[in-house]
C-alpha cells in the first residue's frame, strides 16, 4: 500500500544543507558511499519524525473539532 508523504520543502532543504556530504561533490567525503548513505538516512529519519509529529497534531486537531 502506497502512502503519500507530505514533506515540507523548507525542512527538507534545511536538513540537506546541514549535511554537505549529500550535495557537495567537491568534498572528498562525498565519494564515501557509506557516509553519504548515513547522511541520507539521518535526513529520512528526521523527516519521518516530523511526519509522525504532524500526524499526531492533525489527529488532535480533528478531535478538537469533532
The pLDDT tens digits for 17-63 are 999 999 999 988 888 889 988 898 888 888 886 555 655 555 555 45
Residue 38 lies in a domain: yes
Residue 4 lies in a domain: no
Look at residue 18 in the predicted model and tell me its pLDDT.
95
pTM given for the model = 0.62
User: In total, how many domains does the chain have?
Assistant: 1
Residue 65 lies in a domain: no
Residue 12, pLDDT > 50, answer yes
Residue 1 lies in a domain: no
CB 50 within 8 A of CB 11: yes
Look at residue 30 in the predicted model and tell me its pLDDT.
83
Q: How far apart are CA 7 and CA 59, in angstroms?
A: 17
Give the residue numbers spanning the domain of 19.
Answer: 9-58
Residue 6, pLDDT > 60, answer yes
Q: How far apart are CA 61 and CA 43, in angstroms?
A: 27
**What is the CB neighbour count within 10 angstroms for residue 15?**
20
Look at residue 59 in the predicted model and tell me its pLDDT.
52
Amino acid at each position: 500500500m502506497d502512502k503519500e508523504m507530505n514533506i515540507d520543502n523548507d525542512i527538507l532543504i534545511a536538513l540537506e544543507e546541514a549535511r554537505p556530504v549529500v550535495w557537495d561533490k567537491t568534498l572528498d567525503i562525498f565519494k564515501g558511499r557509506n557516509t553519504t548513505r548515513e547522511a541520507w538516512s539521518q535526513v529520512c529519519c528526521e523527516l519521518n519524525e516530523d511526519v509522525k509529529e504532524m500526524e499526531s497534531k492533525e489527529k488532535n486537531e480533528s478531535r478538537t473539532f469533532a
